[in-house]
Structures are given as structure tokens and as C-alpha cells.
Structure 1
Amino acid sequence: MKFLVVFVSLVLSIFVFTGCSHSKNQVDNSSDVSNYNQEQKKDVIVVNKEENILKDRYEVPEGYERVSVEENSFGEFLRNSKLEDYGEKVKYYDGRVKDKPNVYDSVFDVDIGDRDLHQCADAVMLLRAEYLYQNKRYDDISFHFVDGFNAKYSKWRRGYRISVGENSSSYYKATGESNTYETFRKYMDIVFAYSSTLSLDEELKSVDVKDMQIGDVFIKGGSPGHCAIVVDMAENKETGEKVFMLAQSYMPAQQTQLLINPNDQYLSPWYSLDFGENLKTPEWTFTKDQLKRF
């Protein structure tokens, strides 16, 4: 019972102090973004509504080509993300609908469970972990908790579990070896509970925005914090200009969503890499020096 109390208290503190929270960086999309016109946008960016793979649903802007990615790379994985049917709404963990206008254009087909766990950093970590799991790179799946503990899937699948204390965490042997998808998702649940933008920000490496790659993450760690991941890119071979698409989750826990571009309704959901010092997204504003990489 004592462990349960500690567990619940720590989880609540993480959600309250390190989640995707309201702050001066949060965007109020009730004013200028409200002018976003999907029909006008679709006259420029072709949306194949019947397709359920990201790269098949969204055409690139005229004159652009998708950047090349290596086979079995994280970039290829993200570009081929499965989407729900076009027009579906984002669901919260409790089944409610995120019907907030002018935020997203498509919903990623992802099971987020029925607990308030899958928020912004969790969505990014799950995409990365799913990629590694599908490619059987089990030893590469690891994430730090806010307390600094390195939670390794290689230990978890060998039957070790994690005891989370008030000041530190540790492994203990609890069960036999298992590498089923259910085992993997249970591991991710504890990562969701004890990791955040704060810990994810610490373990990612900064990159120059001009060197952006698919899979890079715009992230502001801490309290409050938020992050969004680059899921596709394209380039104009004549001018060298590049565009990219972003995905996020938010709080309370909700499905991952492909963001619209509130700055350019004719380019949306693509964003220009030449966005200046600040990148305005529907629910958050990042600075160009907040781009990082796994």
C-alpha cells in the first residue's frame, strides 16, 4: 500500500509539473488561426482522403520532391505512419473527442490506452520505440525517467521490473523472459508515467535547424514543456527550399495528430523551413534552437 501511495503521488507530480502545460508559449488559436480555410488549402496541397498512409495521403507542394531516406530508417518509418480514416477526430484517453478547431488535419492510428499517460513527450517516445521494436533493435530501446534512472527494455523483457522510490529507482527480478508486444507496451506505460519533456530534452542532441531530418524533435523541456516531431520532409530541387510536417500529442492524454500550419493555409499541413526565429504551431510556439535528435 505504501508503494502504491508513492507511485500515485509521483505520477501526479510528474503530470502536474512536467507535462505539456499552459504557458506563454502556448498558442491561442481562437483568433488569427480561426481564418484557416481547409478548402482553400486543398486547392494547393492535394489530399488523397482515401489513403491511410501519411506519404500517400499528402502530396508535396508543387515543384517539391520528398527527401530521400534510407531503407529501414526512422525517417522511412515515420513517413509510412498509418493514419485513421480522413475526417476522424482525435480521441482522449477517456474516449472524449478533441473537437478543437484549427489544430490537426489527420489522426495517427495509435492505441493510447485508457489512462492519462500518452501526452506530448510520450507520443514521441512511442514512435521511436515502435520503430526500434519493429526492427528488433531491442537493446536500443531505453528512456530516462525524470529522476535520471535509465529504463532499459533489454532488462524489462528479461523479466526485470522497476521499483520507483521517492529519491531513486531500481530493477528487481519479477517474472520470466518475454518479448511480446503486450510486454513492450507495459514497459512503455511505465516510461510514460515517469518520463517527460524534461527527461527527453536532456537525452536528445541539439541540431541546427538547417540540418533538419525526419525524426527530429522540437522540444521545450520542463514545467511547462511541449514537443512535436518532424514526420516528413520535401525539397524544391531548383531553389533548395525545404518543407516539413509535424505531429504531436498533448494533454490530457490523446492520440497523436498531424498538425495544420497556422501560418500559411495554402502550404498547410506542410511548414516552410524558413520560418525565422520562432516556429508557431497551433498550440505552441518553439524557437529554432529547440530542434533536437535521437
Structure 2
Amino acid sequence: MSLYLYSFLFFILTACGSKAEQVTDEIPESIVETEVLVNPKGKTVAERFLPPKGFTRATQVENSFGAYLQNFSLKPHGAQVYYYNGAVKPNDNIYDAVLDIDVGKRDLQQCADAVMRLRAEYLFEQKRYDAIHFNFTSGFRAEYSKWRQGYRVQVKGNDCTWIKKAAASTSYTSFKDYLQIVFTYAGTISLEKEMKAVSMDDLQIGDVFIKGGSPGHAVIVMDMVTNDKTGEKLFLLAQSYMPAQEIQILKNPINPGISPWYSSNFSGPLFTPEWTFQRSHLKRF
């Protein structure tokens, strides 16, 4: 081989190597961070999603709603979201995980319904039956304490009354039947009215961004981490949507570098994959 040819080949090989190193150096930091923030083997919300560097997960009181949501079971990493009818929801950069809870066989458990489902499931698990109640859009207060005594809701137009029709029961099946009635007659308009407004500065796990309407939308805060130095809060959001579908942890379409975490330091709209909220839309049970 001539000295010229050898020199030429050496130049090509070293040039390719330099280019490869350059490409590696130019990999966006957000991609690396996103991979680090997700633990595919994690089985719960807190296990699956890791705090970014400098942030610490908010410690929740044992048996609190916040602890319940933080430790909620997830389907295996990469699971798809299913609609109530068994069809798959395309994941067009919408969700990062799926909660391990059923959606039912009817087109009922949509956005506000998913929020009410999580709240009701928590209270049912705690046997705090008297605390389970939701308002219908008509204003009727649907109390689970009445339902478990065997009363059922009779609806005639906008008028609702309790009628004794069944034996008393605290079975989970009866509880699910109660929720089906709530999902049928309640929604974002009624839920928004019965929740209280809170400041973003006081953000907590279990808080809800909700905009009442037809349509409206609601997403719930599932977890939160805080920056040890600045006090900045990052939070995870979960939703169902229309038609009824499994509850999913949302990706952050605006800041993929911290996705699926969202920062509390936003002054304008809060952009989620399928809805836009304002700071004033934050509410609490």
C-alpha cells in the first residue's frame, strides 16, 4: 500500500470517528434526562417516575389521599390505553403510563369521572363511607351512605329522589354500581362547583386542574417533587378522556426534558397533550 493511500484511509477513518463523537456530544440533554426519569421496572407511580436531580419526592402522611395516589399501581411499562369498548387509544405523545384500574364496559368513566373514581376508591378503601358523595349536574347530592343502605336514585327530568329498593350492602360490586350512577349524572360542571379553589403555591398531590363545560376537562395531580434549593415543584398529571378510557399518566409536550413531570413555575397556560388549563383552574376536594 502506498504511503499516499495509507494516509488517505487514515484520514477517512479518523474523520468518521470524530463525527461519531461529535454526534454523541450533541445528543440533547432532554433525551438523556427523560430516560433517567423513567424506571421501566417500577410498579407504582413513585417507583416508575424518578425525581430529577436536585428534587426530592414529597413525603405523604400514611393513609392520606396523597400517599394513595403516589403508590397507585401501574400496568407494565409500555402498556397501551384501552377505550371502554376494547379499542386501543393511539399514543401520539400523550401518555407515559397506564394506571392499573378498570374503565368499565360503558362510555361513562371519562375525565371528571376518573377523578371521582380515584377519590371514591381511596375513601372506600379507608372505609370512610360517609365521606363518599358527589353532586349531580342538577345539584342533587348523591351520598354513598344512602346507597349502601339500599336506597337508589330515581331520576325524573331534573328531579332526583331516594327510593328504598335493595338490601343494605357495602360490597364492592354495589359500590361500583353507585359510581356508574354518579358518572351518568355528574361531570366537570358539577365537580368544579363542589371543589374549592387553591393557589398554585399550595399545590398538593390530589389537587385537580378542572374546567367545567360541555365539553370540559379535568386532570389530577398524582405525585410531586420539590427542588431542595429553589422550592420549585414538579408534578405528575393523570387523566381519562372522551370516549371513556383507562386512566393514564400524561407526558409533558412543552418540556420533554422533564417529562412526564410538569413545573409549577408557569405564568401562562398549562399545556397538556389534550387540553389547556390556567392556574386559576386548580381545585381541591
- Which of 153, 157, 168 is matched with 2:148 structurally? 157
Residue 185 of structure 1 aligns to a residue whose secondary structure is: helix
CA distance in 1, matches of 2:228, 2:64: 22
- Which of 112, 136, 160 is matched with 1:169 structurally? 160
CA distance in 2, matches of 1:232, 1:226: 19
CA distance 1:266–1:185, shift in 2 (3 Å): same
* Pair 1:287-2:278 in alignment: yes
* Pair 1:270-2:245 in alignment: no
CA RMSD of aligned residues (A): 1.5
Supply the AA of the counterpart residue of 1:239.
Answer: T
CA distance in 1, matches of 2:100, 2:29: 25
Supply the AA of the counterpart residue of 1:138.
Answer: Y
After TM superposition, what 4+ stretches of structure 1 lie above 6 angstroms from structure 2?
Answer: none
Supply the AA of the counterpart residue of 1:222.
Answer: G
- Which of 171, 181, 187 is matched with 1:190 structurally? 181
Supply the AA of the counterpart residue of 1:88.
Answer: A
CA distance in 2, matches of 1:124, 1:37: 34
CA distance 1:169–1:154, shift in 2 (3 Å): same
Q: Which runs of 5+ in 2 are unaligned?
A: 1-27
* Pair 1:248-2:217 in alignment: no
Aligned to 1:227: 218
Deviations 1:144-192 (A, max 9, x none): 0011100000000010000011121110000111101101000001000
- Which of 206, 228, 235 is matched with 2:197 structurally? 206
Residue 285 of structure 1 aligns to a residue whose secondary structure is: strand
CA distance in 2, matches of 1:261, 1:41: 13
CA distance 1:101–1:147, shift in 2 (3 Å): same
CA distance in 2, matches of 1:59, 1:44: 8
* Pair 1:105-2:69 in alignment: no
CA distance in 2, matches of 1:173, 1:207: 38
CA distance 1:37–1:104, shift in 2 (3 Å): farther
**Correspondences of 1:56-67 after superposition (within 5 Å):** 56-67=47-58
Residue 76 of structure 1 aligns to a residue whose secondary structure is: helix
Would the aligned equivalents of 2:31 and 2:257 in 1 still touch at CA under 8 Å?
no
Offset at residue 68 of structure 1 (A): 1.9
Would the aligned equivalents of 1:44 and 1:266 in 2 still touch at CA under 8 Å?
no
- Which of 43, 47, 50 is matched with 1:52 structurally? 43
Would the aligned equivalents of 2:85 and 2:106 in 1 still touch at CA under 8 Å?
yes
Would the aligned equivalents of 1:79 and 1:232 in 2 still touch at CA under 8 Å?
yes
Residue 172 of structure 1 aligns to a residue whose secondary structure is: strand
**TM-score, length basis structure 2:** 0.88
Would the aligned equivalents of 1:61 and 1:267 in 2 still touch at CA under 8 Å?
yes
Aligned to 2:120: 129
Larger relative contact order (Cα-Cα within 8 Å, sequence gap ≥ 6):
1
CA distance in 1, matches of 2:30, 2:180: 36
Offset at residue 37 of structure 1 (A): 11
CA distance in 2, matches of 1:223, 1:252: 13
**TM-score, length basis structure 1:** 0.85
Deviations 1:34-73 (A, max 9, x none): xx9995453442x221221110111101111011211111
Aligned to 1:93: 84
Would the aligned equivalents of 1:44 and 1:267 in 2 still touch at CA under 8 Å?
no
Larger radius of gyration: 2
Would the aligned equivalents of 1:40 and 1:265 in 2 still touch at CA under 8 Å?
no
CA distance in 1, matches of 2:47, 2:242: 29
Supply the AA of the counterpart residue of 2:138.
Answer: D
CA distance in 2, matches of 1:100, 1:41: 21
CA distance in 2, matches of 1:55, 1:260: 16
Instruction: Name the % identity.
Output: 52
Supply the AA of the counterpart residue of 2:130.
Answer: D
Residue 200 of structure 1 aligns to a residue whose secondary structure is: helix
Aligned to 1:42: 34
Offset at residue 265 of structure 1 (A): 0.8
Aligned to 1:20: none
Supply the AA of the counterpart residue of 2:186.
Answer: S
CA distance in 2, matches of 1:77, 1:234: 16
